[in-house]
Amino acid sequence: MSFGQGGPQSQWDPWKPQSQQPSQQPQHQQQQQPWNGGDAGASPDWAALAEASEARAKRRRLFLIGGGALATVAIAGAVAVAVVSANGSDQASDGPSSQLPATADIPSASATTPSFAPTSAPPPLDPKDFVSSAKKDKAALSPDLLFPGTQLTMGDTVYKKGPTADTRTCGSAAQGTLPKVLDAHDCTRLLRVTYTEGDTAVTVGVAVFDTEAQAAKAKQQVDKKSIVRSLSGGGVKSFCTGAVCRSTTNSYGRYAYFTVAGLTNGKDVTEKSTEVFRAGDDLAEFTFRQIRRRGEAQASAAAQAG
């Protein structure tokens, strides 16, 4: 039996506090000698110790690297599971619309739609401007154009159209104080038309001036004796030649218009002659509408032309 191999030896690791240094003595001698004691043959193998230490350090580095890789894989797996779980719940299910983002979370169309500076449209053309001056009022004009058709309906009343006239010397188609007023403000034409309904007859006279100011002044200067001359003929009996009649005066733009209403049976108009008053008012209203429509038509044509 060799004293140097007298039984199993415990492996000594200088990095482990509980390990023991291998003994060079026989098994029955259990005394441990200090590192610097004993004879020279029992000194440690420093080269072997260095190799063992290097091997352990290498294993430790591999363990740390491997553990870090496993931790990274575990974190990535958790993130992948979370992403898949979040995406999968939206993509795989046909849930109710309440799972969609709220309206406030959805970008509005105005966020992506380009905006443009507001533009102001030009103001609409004023129809009255086209009938206030001869320079702009260029549309054709005649009694039949201003008073078209063969009859006129106002409310429930139908008026039959009678004779018409277009006089260039305005004073000759007027009587009383009206000829002087028309001549003073340079009236250029006096258009007349007569309408009848039963025994009632109304003559409308439209005096044409170059400007609105002239028509307005003529209107201001007329009096109760300023009367347009009634127009008869063509089946219409003479009226308002000696009997009392009712007259009106007004103006719009460069036109002054008058009415004279009476009875074809020769009787005087009284306060009880309601049909005469109504007929005079209806024809005055219709004349105003026709002059205004004339302006509207020319304004519309000018707007379309550009």
The per-residue pLDDT for 121 is 60
d(CA 147, CA 166): 12
Q: Are residue 144 and residue 262 in the same domain, yes or no?
A: yes
Q: By residue range, what is the domain housing residue 70?
A: 44-81
Question: Are 294 and 203 within one domain?
Answer: yes
Q: In total, how many domains does the chain have?
A: 2
3 three-state secondary structure? helix
| Structural domain contains residue 17 | no
- Residues 142 and 280 placed together within one structural domain of the fold: yes
| Cα–chain center distance at 115 | 13
- 65 and 169 belong to one structural domain: no
Same domain for 65 and 174, yes or no, is no
Does residue 146 share a domain with residue 53?
Answer: no
pLDDT at position 57 is 67
The answer on 259 and 144 residing in a single domain is yes
DSSP state, 105? G
**pLDDT of res. 305:** 87
Distance of alpha carbon 17 from alpha carbon 53, whole angstroms = 14
Q: 64 and 175, same structural domain?
A: no
Is residue 10, in this structure, part of any structural domain at all? Answer: no
pLDDT by position in tens, the chain (length 306)? 444 444 444 454 544 455 444 444 444 434 444 444 444 445 566 666 667 667 776 666 655 555 555 445 454 444 444 444 444 444 444 444 445 455 445 555 555 555 555 666 667 889 999 999 999 999 999 999 999 999 999 999 999 999 999 999 999 999 999 999 999 999 999 999 999 999 999 999 999 999 999 999 999 999 999 999 999 999 999 999 999 999 999 999 999 999 999 999 999 999 999 999 999 999 999 999 999 999 999 999 999 887
pLDDT of residue 180: 98
pLDDT of residue 209: 98
User: Alpha-carbon distance 224 to 244, whole Å?
Assistant: 12
The closest of 189, 181, 147, 184 to 164, measured between CA atoms, is 147
Do 145 and 279 share a domain, yes or no? yes
User: Residue 142, by phi and psi: left (phi above 0), alpha (psi -120 to 50) or beta?
Assistant: beta
70 and 139 co-located in one domain: no
The verdict on residue 72 lying in a domain is: yes
Residue 4 forms part of a structural domain: no
216 lies in some domain = yes
Is the domain of 60 the same as that of 149?
A: no
pLDDT, residue 105, reads 53
Do residues 201 and 262 lie in contact, with contact meaning Cβ atoms separated by under 8 Å?
A: yes
Residue 101 inside a domain? The answer is no
Check whether residue 282 and residue 193 sit in a common domain: yes
Q: For residues 281 and 304, give the distance between their C-alpha atoms in angstroms, rounded to a whole number.
A: 35
Q: Evaluate whether residue 6 is within a structural domain.
A: no
Residue 96 in any domain: the answer is no
